[in-house]
Structure formats: C-alpha cells, structure tokens
C-alpha cells in the first residue's frame, strides 16, 4: 500500500514539471495549455480535498447539495435559459465555506456530465461552477456580502464569470488550437453570449432576492444540525 | 448473564425536559428474536440506537449497557458485532449500483479483495441476488432495496442484528419476504435479532419475546402469548393482531397458554366449535347512486416505448363512498390516483367530474374540488411551520381563520401549529396535510396509501376521521395494501390488475371470494363460515352461537 | 468471447482517450487530421455500427462547417487570396486553418461520444477510488442521489400541482418562483433524510478504518501490453511533433503540405495509436477464428 502512495506522489511531482516544460515549449498552444491548466488545477484541488479526512455526515451533505444543484434545473425545463444551479452552488459556498463550495461545484458538474455524457466542456464547467462556489465562500465574511447589494452584485458577477469561462473554451475551440485569438471573434462571441449571461444574472438576482434569506436560514439550520463544517 | 443487558438506562435528548428512555432495564439472551413495539415516540428507536455505539444519539445517558458481559461504551470493542438496518430503504443506500452497495461495508473495514470476493459470493448465493448484482439501485423496488441493505450489513458478519421498523415502508408481499429472511437468520444461524415493529400479525409467531414500550419505559414484556394476554387485560388492544384478539374476545375468561397466533393454530381451535353459518346482510349501505367521477376507456402510458400502465380502464366514483383500491406494486394504483386528481391526463378515453370533462374544468376549480393526500406528506409542506402552511392555504383559498382553527381543533392538531412539519410524527403530519386539504372544502379526497407506516392507534384515529368526513358528504378514494383496514372501513373496494380494475365489490363480498388477498379472519373461517371477513363480524357470529 | 476494447482495464481506456485528444490537438496537419477523423468514425462503426454517433452527426458537421467558415470571415491574413467578396479577402491560409480547426473539434467531439460509451460511470468511479478514495465516495454518493432527487422532484411537482402551485401556467414570475419553491422543498427534505444516509454509512463503519477497494476490474497481461504499446506510441508521436513533424505551419507563411518519409512514419504511428480500439477488436476476431 505504501509503495503505491509513493508512486502516486511521484507521478504527480513529475506531472507538474512536464506540464511546465510543455507549456514553455508550446507557449502559443492555447487550447492544449488551457485544458492542461484547468485539469491540473482541479487535480491539485482534489488532492488537497483527499488530505482532509471527512466525516460521513459532511460527505453526505456535500453530495446532497451537489446532486440538488445538478437536478435543480429540471423544474425550469419549460423556461428557457433559467436554471438555479449557480444559485444553489453560491448559497452552498456562502454557508459552508470556500472549499466546500468549490467541491460542490466540481462534483455537481462532473456527476451530471457522467450521466448526460461528457464532452470537452466538462472540465470548464467543473472549474466555472467550482469558482462560483469558491468565491462565494471566500467572500462570505466580507462586510459587503452581509448586505443585500453585495450579494446582488456577487450574483450578477458570478453569472457573467461563469458565462465567460464557458465562452473561453468556446472561443479557443473556434479559433483553433494555436493561432492568434482574434479580437473580433472574441467580441462577437461575448456579445453573442451576453444575452444568455444577462438572463442568467437576472434569474440569479431574482432567486437571491426572493429565496436568498430563507435558503441561508435553511442551510444554517442544517449546518448546526449536522454539527459540521465549522472548521 | 444475559447476552445484552440494559440496567436502569435513562436517556435525555438535549433541549428536552422529559427523558426519552426512563430507567429502562431489559435482558436479551443470545439467539433470541425480540420485538419492540409501541406508539411512535415511545423510545424504540432511541433504545436501538443506544445499542449501536457509533450511531448513538447525542444526549445525557445514565445507567449501564452490557454486551457479552462487557460494558458498551464508545470503544470499538463490540461495534463490528452489531449490524443495524434502518426504517427507510431508500435513505440507507449509498451507491448507484447493487454491487458497490454490497461491498461498501466490507471496503470500510479494509478487507482484502479476496476476502471480499469470498464473502460476496456466499451472500449472493444465500440471498439469491445473482440477477440484481449489476442493477442500478434506483431501479430496485423498496423491498429489494431493503434486502440489499440487509445483505450489505450481513457481509460485515455481525452477531447481533438491530432493525428499526424495517418493513414499515414495504408492501405486504415484500415485507413477508424480508421477515422470512430474518427468520432464517435467526433459526438457521442463531443470530440475535432485536427489531422494532408495529405490525405484529406476521412476526408474532416467530418472536421469542415481545416488548411493549410506553413513554420511554417498558410497559409489558414476555413471551408472545403471555404478553398478548397482559395487553388484553391492561394495555392498548389495538396492537393485538386479529386472530388472538378474536380468541380473547370470544372466550372472555381464559389463560394465555392456548392463545392461537397463526391461522393454523386458530383453525385447530375453531374445529372444536360449531360456528353457525351466518347470513351477513352484505353491505346494506345505501349508496347515493350519483356519480361524481366517471372514467371511461382510459389508456395511460408514461413513455411511448413502454407498455401502457392503464388499459381500457372504466370506473365510477359515487358520492359519499369510501372506495379503496387494492393491488400489487406497480399495478398502476398511484398512476390512476394521479389521473383522477387531474394532474396526469389520459392519452385516450375520458375522465369526467360532474359530467364535465376534466380538461374543460379550470385548473383552479378542479384543484378546489379534488384534494390529493400523498403517500409522503412531507413533500406537501412548503412552509417551515404548520401554522404558516395553514395561513398560506387560507390566503390561497380565501377561507376564514375561524374555519381553519375549527378544522385544526377537530383533527386534534391545534397544539402542533408552531412545529416544523418534519418534527411531527407520521400520523400528525398526515393530519396536518389533511387539514390544509379540508380548508378548500373539497368534494373528493384522494388518499395514496394513507395507512403506510402508521401505528395501530393512529390508524384507528385516521379511520374515524375518514368516516366522519364521508358522513359530511365528502367522497373518499384511497389506494392501499392494508387488507385489514380496507375490510373494516371501506364501503366498496376494487382490485387493480393488468392495467384495469379486475374485480370490484362491497368488502364483504369482495374478500370472501379471495384466497390470498384477504383478511386473517377470513382465512381463519374459510370453509367454516365464508362470509366472515372482519373481527367484528366474527365476534357477532360467535355470540350468536352461544 | 471476442476481445473488445471496452473489456480492457479502465485505466487503459482512459489513457487511450487522454492521449488521443492530446495528439489530436498537437498534430495539426490537414492530412493527419483527415485520417484521424476517418479512424474515429471507423471506431464507431466497429463498436456499435455508429449507433451512438448517429444522433451527433448533425451537431458535428454543423460545428465543423461553422468553424471552417468563421475563420475566413474574421481573418484576412495570408498571401494566397482565393476570392474577394465586398472588399473582404478570403485567403487560402484562413480556409486551411479553419478546416484544420474544424476537423480537430469534430474529431474531439466524436471521440467523446465513444468515450461516453466505453467509460461508464462505474469505470471512472473505479479509477477515482484507486487514486482518490474519499473523492470517489463523494462522487458515488452524488451519482446515487441524482436519480433519487429526480424522482423526489417529480413527486414534489405532482403534489404541489395538486395544490394549485405549478410551473406550467401563469405569469413568468410565478413560474420561476414556484420552480425554486420545488427545489427548496427538495433541499429541506433531502437534507433531513440524508442524516439517515450518514448514519447508515457510520453504522457500516465508514471513516473508522483505512478503506480498501473491491477489485471490479483486474489488470491482466493484455492490459500491461496495451499500456506499454500506447505509451510508447504516444511518446514517440510527441517527440516527433516537438521536432516539427506532422505539423503544418499556416501563419505567417504557409508551408507546403508535402510530407517527408519521416513525416509519414510519424503519421503512421499516430494512426496506429488512434486505431488501437479497432486493432484490439480485429486481433480478437482473428484469434477467435483461429481457435475455433
């Protein structure tokens, strides 16, 4: 068992310089690089998660929230472009902290893609929702997040950041594996997605204003009930 | 010394004044099959959980718990010896396929791959799981899930099995299968089993000891016959299964040694007596022939690719009746209920309410007239207290606060208003949802398995509520697996089979033709006096004999 | 039984797809990319006669065409002007570049379709449990909860509809509000119930000992052979690419498409790598017929 752990660590230690070497060698290879970067970031985070020993209740709580985030779009099937996944992840990060928020975002995207079918967008979606959860957790203690306007601002920003990260992969795919990223394409792409991102942001704010308070109350209640994730 | 022994155990949950267990002492010998029963909240679950130390609830504990002459404290010494199966089959499942679920416990204790494979092979053989092994857990029926849960626990090779109402959520067929598995474990492998359970009917013949609990302490304990007799004299009679109950009602002065527990024993006893052939005046209930809901040639399927779940269904519901629909799992009972409520729409055929097609009703009017009480009333509540839920309903339907209070009072739940719905017991929760339904003064109530998981006392309360409602002119349609309940209280019942209602009659007529799907009393009297279906009728017949 | 690619150890399959995508992104040459796409389609033919790929065909071709056209519209760079439309120069370079990008994306998507067929959640979970046991448990629980939550949402929507609270009619605002109300019920209910899940894990001693994992898949000699083969092909191809083989420079000046014999060798290796699933199947087929 021990030797296995060493091999595992060795592979990881070797992986990083290899990646750095390759990235210097093909600095113009945006598509490959960005994929490598995103995947490596996720792996490093997961290894960190692995180090922290979790109680059954904590792990179940994370899984429930991730699963709810993944299925929460179902009731909205008849309403185009509106889905509360981002809102759910945001609330989870806000109450349970940055790391929990990040892991919920990642697992939720990964699990739903495992059921619906993976695509090249999987890692991007993972990192995008991960970041939403992470930053919600990171900023939760700041005074502006205690106020409504702060949360509203956060909801708007996170909708756009999510959209942009997903665009990023789209733009890279469209402009090719290396070649210069054309500024015009970038503009066109972002303008194209702006409508969706705006709806996303509006629905986020709508959910937040109507449900934010009660959701925080519900989650806080369970936080004490499970007696967990206080660290 | 006993294998498991509790001495003066008192346990108090945090933030509560009265203890959940109060100076409780209990002995269990090795290899015994012990059954705990009593009203919800009597401390059964608390007692079981205290015996399994890694899921012991938080709170103040005093007294001593011994197992195998060792003090049971929160050390690892004894924990692997105890397996625990919970009530809800769904919530215990952690893996998305059966194989993962089975090996989960073994992985947790770090067994080697070889050891796991050996144990698994044995278990799959014992339980007959070959066909399930690669299935997804969410495709299994409740009964299958509960068996998988049991198997996963057994793979860790415990000596003691604790079960907290494991069959409360199962239909009669699966619960019988599950119980017979427990009997095998007890008889063939000498496993010590302690189980909490409401329905004594099927398990009482196999138990070595039954324990009735009340308010955190033991009210009555002893061998089944002795304890039953004791309950008969001093306790809540609703817990006594119908055959022993009938025996004790008919022979008023008697000892406990002869009490029949099974149909077989009962029939042996009855052979000695001559029961007159009674002409039970079969259900002379005057039913208003006015049809409220009429279903004509309805077809329904969930998916184009799948077979239709309802085929050429014809049905009519008459004003003021209490109609019970029986049938196996997956026979389409619940689907039909949803069609009647107007939530699902039939692909072919028509459903009319007051001779007007459901489709042409305004949703609002339809919702007002038809109330639907789901199997799981927890999902009914949107608010975090009962009071808020009621207030929301009042606003939605424009009823007076006074009327609402009156309903809450009459259901006996007014004092629960401030509580979170999830903190209520199953029976209370059901009444809470029923109150919200009654606020809109519906004409028809649709109940999905209303007796599931209720203890006998709550069941009787529910029955009296339902009967009162029918007297007030509300028509009730319910689905059920509970043959005894239906035989006692329904005015008409039907059997769902193969996508349609295969037979339909008044309970007396309906059950006396059935062989398997019928009451204990009917089985007792088969060939002797076929018309007897319920305990009341049997007692009446007995008295005529005298 | 005829040996097939999806019967190999999950690690082998995963490694194959990983390497294939890296190579697709690296070896940017019209010829290699065209070959690659054809090979990936053949993998689908060999696997299930293109059953799973079929529903993706429109998406794949529209995306490919879109990228092919988009590049010349935004990009005027390059020396060889093919045609000038309304003062906009459409260059050969832009067309070639767009074509290569399009082919890459088409290939990647088609590969993912195959990946989804071969790498079942089970296999991925198994891989995770080997390197990250705790994360694997979390993922397993999530995968178990998703269908459960779907069913609960179904129940919730039925029950709430029967109370007159719906997401199918009424103004936009009410629909969205009711929709999230459903999710809120799901949240409270599931968190409440999940305490039992945690208890059931604890009663089965989760978190008390070092966890082992059941061997759903065994690493056989066939797998060792496969991984060595794949690994060496992958490394050689990357080394070749680092030395500029099987790569077409488009900007600023487009190279000629001519391939040297060394280029051809690397191209062949790349094709062999990609065609690995087919080779496994063909090998198995031959062996089957020799044995019988």
Q: Are strands B356-357 and B348-353 parallel, antiparallel or unpaired?
A: antiparallel
The three-class DSSP label of residue C256 is coil
Residue written as tokens 């009938």?
B246
Query: In this structure, what token pair is assigned to residue A38?
Result: 């995103």
Touching chains, C (3+ CB pairs < 8 A)? A, B
Average pLDDT over residues A132-150: 89
Task: Give the per-residue pLDDT at A1.
Answer: 42
CA-closest candidate to residue B525, choices B258, B242, B285: B242
Instruction: Give the CA distances from residue B21 to residues B44, B227, C28, C74, in Å, rounded to whole numbers and listed in that order.
Output: 9, 21, 74, 78
| A110 pLDDT more than 90 | yes
Question: Which is more confidently placed, A218 or C69?
Answer: A218
Q: How far apart are CA C18 and CA A35, in angstroms?
A: 11
Which residue from C minimizes the CA distance to A180?
C251
Residue A185: list chain C partners with CB under 8 A. 70, 74
Lowest pLDDT segment from A57-66, A137-146, B228-237, C76-85: C76-85
**Portion 427-456 of B in contact with C at CB < 8 A:** 436
Other Cβ atoms within 10 Å of A128 Cβ, number: 25
| B276 pLDDT more than 80 | no
* Cβ–Cβ contact C204 with B under 8 A: yes
Task: Give the per-residue pLDDT at A231.
Answer: 44
Confidence of residue B546 (pLDDT cuts 50, 70, 90): low
Q: Give counts: helices (H), strands (E), chain A.
A: 9, 0
Question: Which is more confidently placed, A170 or C47?
Answer: C47
Instruction: Identify whether the C-beta of residue C68 lies closer than 8 Å to the C-beta of residue C99.
Output: yes
For the stretch A154-177, pLDDT in tens is 999 999 999 888 887 777 776 665
Q: What share of chain B is helix, strand, coil (3-state, %, to 5)?
A: 40, 20, 35
CA-closest candidate to residue B164, choices B234, B252, B87: B87
Q: Where are the alpha helices (DSSP H) in B24-112?
A: 44-51, 98-108
| A27 pLDDT more than 70 | no
Question: Which is more confidently placed, C3 or B7?
Answer: B7
Other Cβ atoms within 10 Å of B328 Cβ, number: 15
Average pLDDT over residues B41-65: 87
Average pLDDT over residues B121-148: 91
Lowest pLDDT segment from A87-91, B396-400, C106-110: B396-400
* Cβ–Cβ contact C218 with B under 8 A: no
Inter-chain touch C203–B149, beta carbons under 8 Å: no
CA-closest candidate to residue A47, choices C133, C12, C122, C15: C133
For the stretch B415-427, pLDDT in tens is 888 888 988 888 8
Residue among C126, C159, C198, C216 with most chain B CBs within 10 A, to mutate? C159
Residue B100: list chain C partners with CB under 8 A. 125, 140, 214
**Portion 125-184 of A in contact with C at CB < 8 A:** 173-180, 182, 184
B350-377 burial string, b = 16+ CB within 10 Å, else e?
A: ebbbeeeebeebeeeebbbbbbbbbbbb
Q: How far apart are CA B37 and CA B198, in angstroms?
A: 6
Residue B105: list chain C partners with CB under 8 A. 204-205
| B284 pLDDT more than 60 | no
A66-102 burial string, b = 16+ CB within 10 Å, else e?
A: bbbbbbbbbbbeebeebbbbbbbbbbbbbbbbbbbbb
Residue among C120, C121, C162 with most chain B CBs within 10 A, to mutate? C162
| Contacts (Cβ under 8 Å, ≥6 apart) of B16 | none
Average pLDDT over residues A120-138: 92
Per residue, the 3-state secondary structure of B301-366, as one string, reads CCCCCCCCCEEEEEEEEECCCEEEEEECCCCCHHHHHHHHCCCCCCCEEEEEECCEEHHHCCHHHH
CA-closest candidate to residue B238, choices B403, B56, B416, B427: B427
Inter-chain touch C140–B96, beta carbons under 8 Å: yes
pLDDT > 90 fraction of chain B, expressed in percent and rounded: 34
**Portion 73-92 of A in contact with C at CB < 8 A:** 74-76, 78-79, 82, 84, 87-88
Residue written as tokens 């409270």?
C188
| A146 pLDDT more than 60 | yes
The three-class DSSP label of residue B52 is coil
Q: What is the DSSP string of A21-42?
A: HHHHHTTT-HHHHHHHHHHHHH
* Cβ–Cβ contact A223 with C under 8 A: no
Residue among C204, C213, C215 with most chain B CBs within 10 A, to mutate? C204
* Cβ–Cβ contact C189 with B under 8 A: yes
Task: Give the per-residue pLDDT at A80.
Answer: 75
Per residue, the 3-state secondary structure of B220-235, as one string, reads EEECHHHHHHHHHHHC
Nearest CB partner across the interface for C197, out of B84, B92, B371: B92
Per residue, the 3-state secondary structure of A56-90, as one string, reads HHHHHHHHHHHHHHHHCCHHHCCCCCCCCHHHHHH
**Portion 187-206 of C in contact with A at CB < 8 A:** 187-188, 190-191, 194-195, 197-199, 201-202, 206
| Contacts (Cβ under 8 Å, ≥6 apart) of A145 | A94, A139, A151, A154
* Cβ–Cβ contact A231 with C under 8 A: no
Q: How far apart are CA C105 and CA C86, in angstroms?
A: 30
Other Cβ atoms within 10 Å of C247 Cβ, number: 18
Average pLDDT over residues A131-141: 92
Residue A100: list chain C partners with CB under 8 A. none
Q: What are phi and psi of B182, to 5 degrees?
A: -65, -40
**Portion 28-47 of A in contact with C at CB < 8 A:** 29, 31-32, 35, 46-47
A17-35 burial string, b = 16+ CB within 10 Å, else e?
A: eeeeebeeebeebbbbbeb
The distance from CA B421 to its chain's CA centroid, rounded to whole angstroms, is 20
Q: pTM of the predicted model, to two decimals?
A: 0.91
Residue among A2, A55, A56, A118 with most chain C CBs within 10 A, to mutate? A56
Task: Give the per-residue pLDDT at A14.
Answer: 73
Residue C63 CB burial class (10 angstroms; 0-12, 13-18, ≥19) = middle
Instruction: Identify whether the C-beta of residue B537 lies closer than 8 Å to the C-beta of residue B347.
Output: no
The three-class DSSP label of residue B375 is coil
Indicate whether this complex's ipTM tops 0.85: yes
Q: What are phi and psi of B199, to 5 degrees?
A: -85, 110
Q: What are phi and psi of A20, to 5 degrees?
A: -65, -45
Average pLDDT over residues B31-50: 90
Confidence of residue A6 (pLDDT cuts 50, 70, 90): low
Lowest pLDDT segment from B79-88, B100-109, B521-530, C245-254: C245-254
CA-closest candidate to residue A96, choices A70, A73, A66, A124: A66
Q: How far apart are CA A158 and CA B168, in angstroms?
A: 46
Instruction: Identify whether the C-beta of residue B101 lies closer than 8 Å to the C-beta of residue B148.
Output: yes
Q: How far apart are CA B247 and CA B266, in angstroms?
A: 8
Q: How far apart are CA A67 and CA B35, in angstroms?
A: 37
CA-closest candidate to residue B129, choices B147, B146, B115: B147
Question: Which is more confidently placed, A28 or C256?
Answer: C256
Residue written as tokens 């429930």?
A64
* Cβ–Cβ contact B394 with C under 8 A: no
**Portion 155-194 of B in contact with C at CB < 8 A:** 156
Q: What is the DSSP string of A146-200?
A: HSHHHHHHHHHHHHHHHHHHHHHHHHHHHH-SSS---HHHHHHHHHHHHHHHHHH
| B301 pLDDT more than 50 | yes
Residue C138: list chain B partners with CB under 8 A. none
The three-class DSSP label of residue B368 is helix
Other Cβ atoms within 10 Å of A51 Cβ, number: 8
Residue among C24, C148, C175, C187 with most chain A CBs within 10 A, to mutate? C187
For the stretch A48-106, pLDDT in tens is 898 888 889 999 999 999 999 999 988 888 777 788 999 999 999 999 999 999 999 99
Q: Which domains does chain A have, with CATH numbers?
A: 2-226 (1.10.1760.20)
Inter-chain touch A8–C131, beta carbons under 8 Å: yes
Lowest pLDDT segment from A24-33, B17-26, B60-69, C140-149: A24-33
| Contacts (Cβ under 8 Å, ≥6 apart) of C173 | A206
- Mean pLDDT computed over every residue of chain B: 87
Query: In this structure, what token pair is assigned to residue B473?
Result: 């002119």
Q: How far apart are CA B479 and CA B496, in angstroms?
A: 10
Nearest CB partner across the interface for C209, out of B109, B368, B371: B109
Q: What are phi and psi of C146, to 5 degrees?
A: -55, -50
Nearest CB partner across the interface for B382, out of C181, C200, C208: C181
């Amino acid at each position: 068992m021990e030797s296995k752990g060493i091999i595992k660590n060795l592979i990881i230690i070797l992986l990083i310089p290899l990646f750095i070497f390759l990235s210097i060698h093909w600095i113009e290879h945006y598509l490959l690089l960005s994929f490598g970067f995103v995947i490596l970031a996720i792996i490093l985070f997961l290894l960190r998660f692995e180090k922290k020993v979790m109680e059954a209740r904590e792990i179940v709580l994370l899984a429930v929230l991730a699963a709810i985030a993944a299925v929460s779009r179902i009731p909205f099937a008849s309403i185009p472009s509106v889905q509360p996944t981002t809102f759910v992840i945001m609330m989870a990060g806000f109450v349970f902290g940055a790391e929990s928020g990040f892991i919920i975002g990642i697992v939720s995207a990964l699990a739903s893609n495992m059921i619906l079918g993976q695509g090249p967008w999987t890692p991007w979606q993972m990192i995008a929702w991960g970041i939403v959860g992470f930053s919600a957790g990171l900023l939760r203690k700041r005074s502006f997040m205690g106020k409504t306007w702060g949360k509203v601002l956060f909801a708007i920003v996170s909708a756009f950041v999510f959209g942009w990260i997903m665009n990023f992969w789209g733009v890279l795919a469209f402009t090719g594996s290396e070649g210069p990223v054309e500024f015009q394409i970038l503009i066109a792409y972002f303008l194209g997605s702006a409508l969706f991102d705006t709806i996303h942001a509006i629905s986020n704010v709508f959910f937040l204003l109507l449900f934010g308070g009660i959701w925080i109350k519900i989650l806080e209640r369970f936080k004490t009930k499970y007696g967990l994730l206080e660290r | 010394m006993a294998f498991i022994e509790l001495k003066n155990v008192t346990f108090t949950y945090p933030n509560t004044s009265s203890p959940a267990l109060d100076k409780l002492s209990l002995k269990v010998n090795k290899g015994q099959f012990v059954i705990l029963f009593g009203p919800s909240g009597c401390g059964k679950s608390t007692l079981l959980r205290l015996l399994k130390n890694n899921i012991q609830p938080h709170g103040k504990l005093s007294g001593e718990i011994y197992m195998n002459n060792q003090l049971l404290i929160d050390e690892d010494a004894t924990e692997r010896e105890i397996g625990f199966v919970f009530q809800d089959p769904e919530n215990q499942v952690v893996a998305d396929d059966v194989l993962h679920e089975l090996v989960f416990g073994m992985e947790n204790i770090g067994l080697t791959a070889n050891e796991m494979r050996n144990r698994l092979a044995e278990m799959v053989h014992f339980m007959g799981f070959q066909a399930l092994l690669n299935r997804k857990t969410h495709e299994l029926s409740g009964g299958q899930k509960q068996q998988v849960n049991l198997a996963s626990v057994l793979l860790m090779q415990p000596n003691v099995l604790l079960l907290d109402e494991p069959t409360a959520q199962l239909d009669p067929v699966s619960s019988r299968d599950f119980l017979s598995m427990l009997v095998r474990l007890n008889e063939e492998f000498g496993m010590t089993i302690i189980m909490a359970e409401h329905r004594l009917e099927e398990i009482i013949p196999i138990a070595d000891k039954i324990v009735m609990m009340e308010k955190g302490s033991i009210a009555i304990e002893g061998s089944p016959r002795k304890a039953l007799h004791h309950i008969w004299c001093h306790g809540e009679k609703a817990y006594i299964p119908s055959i022993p109950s009938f025996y004790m009602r008919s022979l008023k002065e008697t000892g406990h040694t002869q009490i029949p527990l099974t149909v077989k024993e009962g029939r042996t006893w009855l052979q000695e007596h001559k029961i007159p052939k009674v002409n039970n005046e079969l259900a002379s209930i005057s039913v208003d022939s006015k049809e409220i809901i009429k279903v004509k040639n309805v077809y329904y399927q969930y998916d184009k690719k799948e077979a239709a779940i309802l085929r050429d269904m014809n049905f009519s519901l008459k004003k003021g009746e209490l109609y019970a629909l029986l049938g196996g799992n997956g026979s389409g009972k619940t689907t039909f209920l949803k069609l009647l409520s107007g939530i699902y729409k039939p692909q072919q055929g028509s459903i009319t309410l007051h001779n007007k097609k459901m489709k042409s009703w305004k949703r609002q009017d339809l919702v007002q007239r038809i109330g639907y009480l789901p199997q799981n009333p927890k999902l009914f509540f949107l608010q975090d207290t009962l009071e808020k839920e009621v207030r929301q309903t009042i606003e939605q339907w424009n009823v007076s606060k006074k009327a609402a209070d009156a309903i809450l009072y009459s259901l006996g739940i007014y004092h629960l208003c401030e509580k979170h719905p999830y903190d209520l017991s199953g029976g209370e929760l059901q009444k809470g949802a029923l109150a919200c339904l009654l606020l809109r003064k519906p004409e028809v109530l649709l109940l999905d398995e209303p007796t599931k998981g209720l203890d006998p006392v709550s069941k009787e309360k529910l029955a009296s509520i339902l009967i009162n409602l029918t007297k007030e002119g509300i028509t009730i349609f319910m689905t059920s697996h509970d043959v005894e309940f239906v035989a006692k209280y329904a005015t008409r019942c039907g059997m769902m089979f193969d996508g349609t209602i295969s037979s339909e009659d008044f309970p007396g007529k309906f059950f006396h033709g059935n062989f398997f799907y019928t009451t204990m009393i009917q089985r007792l009297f088969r060939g002797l006096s076929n018309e007897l279906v319920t305990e009341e009728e049997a007692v009446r017949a007995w008295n005529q004999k005298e | 039984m005829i040996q097939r690619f999806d019967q190999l150890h999950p690690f082998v399959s995963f490694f194959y797809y990983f390497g294939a995508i890296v190579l697709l992104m690296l070896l940017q040459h019209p010829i290699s990319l065209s070959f690659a796409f054809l090979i990936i389609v053949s993998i689908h033919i060999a696997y299930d006669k293109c059953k799973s790929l079929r529903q993706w065909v429109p998406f794949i071709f529209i995306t490919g065409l879109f990228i092919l056209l988009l590049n010349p519209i935004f990009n005027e760079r390059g020396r060889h002007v093919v045609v000038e439309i309304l003062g906009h120069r459409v260059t050969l370079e832009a067309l070639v570049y767009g074509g290569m990008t399009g082919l890459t994306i088409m290939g990647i998507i088609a590969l993912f379709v195959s990946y989804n067929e071969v790498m079942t959640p089970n296999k991925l979970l198994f891989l995770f449990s080997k390197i990250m046991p705790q994360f694997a448990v979390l993922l397993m629980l999530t995968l178990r909860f998703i269908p459960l939550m779907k069913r609960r949402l179904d129940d919730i929507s039925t029950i709430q509809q029967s109370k007159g609270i719906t997401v199918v009619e009424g103004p936009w605002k009410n629909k969205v509000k009711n929709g999230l109300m459903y999710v809120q019920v799901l949240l409270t209910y599931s968190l409440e119930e999940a305490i039992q899940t945690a208890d059931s894990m604890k009663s089965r001693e989760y978190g008390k000992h070092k966890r082992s994992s059941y061997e759903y898949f065994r690493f056989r000699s066939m797998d060792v052979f496969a991984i060595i083969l794949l690994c060496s092909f992958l490394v050689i191809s990357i080394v070749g690419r680092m030395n500029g083989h099987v790569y077409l420079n488009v900007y600023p000046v487009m190279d000629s498409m001519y391939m040297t014999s060394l280029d051809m060798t690397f191209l062949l290796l790349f094709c062999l790598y990609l065609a690995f699933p087919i080779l496994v199947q063909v090998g198995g087929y031959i062996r089957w017929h020799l044995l019988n």
